[in-house]
Amino acid sequence: MTQTLLAFDYGTRSLGVAAGQTLTGTATELAPLPARDGIPDWAVVQRLLEEWRPALVVVGLPLNMDGSDSELTQRARKFGQRLHGRFGVRVEMMDERLSTVAAKEVAASRGHRGNYAAEPVDSIAARLILESWLNR
């Protein structure tokens, strides 16, 4: 049975978003969501969940390179808990070490000019996180 999934790359200024499905194991980048100190507009998140009706939401877990938690790790976990608590969706955390580096490489191959504030790569990272989850 094919399932639809959503993924979030958590950040304090924006959240990358990607949608995918289990049949092909592929994901597509969606428009990133603005966030204020890591908090998105929950009404926009709700509309995304209603539109895609994911069987699972994957949230990137930004661990330090040695596998230890950082301040952002705890905030990403809290975001995942809020997704589950507010909307009742199943949430899994996924190690996202090096996803931003990989996302920047993808963006550069697409002609990105390196101004990540003006052209964020968060949704590329969300796609890579979701594809990693699908291919594990």
Cα–Cα distances in Å, from 57 out to 2, 68, 92, 106? Answer: 15, 23, 6, 23
In the prediction, which pLDDT does 136 show?
Answer: 86
Asked if residue 68 has pLDDT above 70, the reply is yes
Asked if residue 112 has pLDDT above 80, the reply is no
Please state, rounded to an integer, the average pLDDT across all residues of the chain: 88
Q: Could you tell me the pTM of the whole model? A: 0.86
Mean predicted confidence (pLDDT) in 41-66: 95
The pLDDT-based confidence of 41 (bands split at 50, 70, 90) is very high
Could you give the domains of the chain? 1-11+38-60+75-136 (3.30.420.140)
Tens of pLDDT along 97-111? Answer: 666 665 566 656 666
Q: Which residues of 3-25 are buried (b: 16+ CB within 10 A; e: fewer)?
A: eebbbbbbbeebbbbbbbbeeee
Instruction: Give strand pairing partners of 74.
Output: none
In the prediction, which pLDDT does 104 show?
Answer: 64
CA distance 62 to 71: 9
Task: Tell me if 106 sits within 8 A of 121, measured CB to CB.
Answer: yes
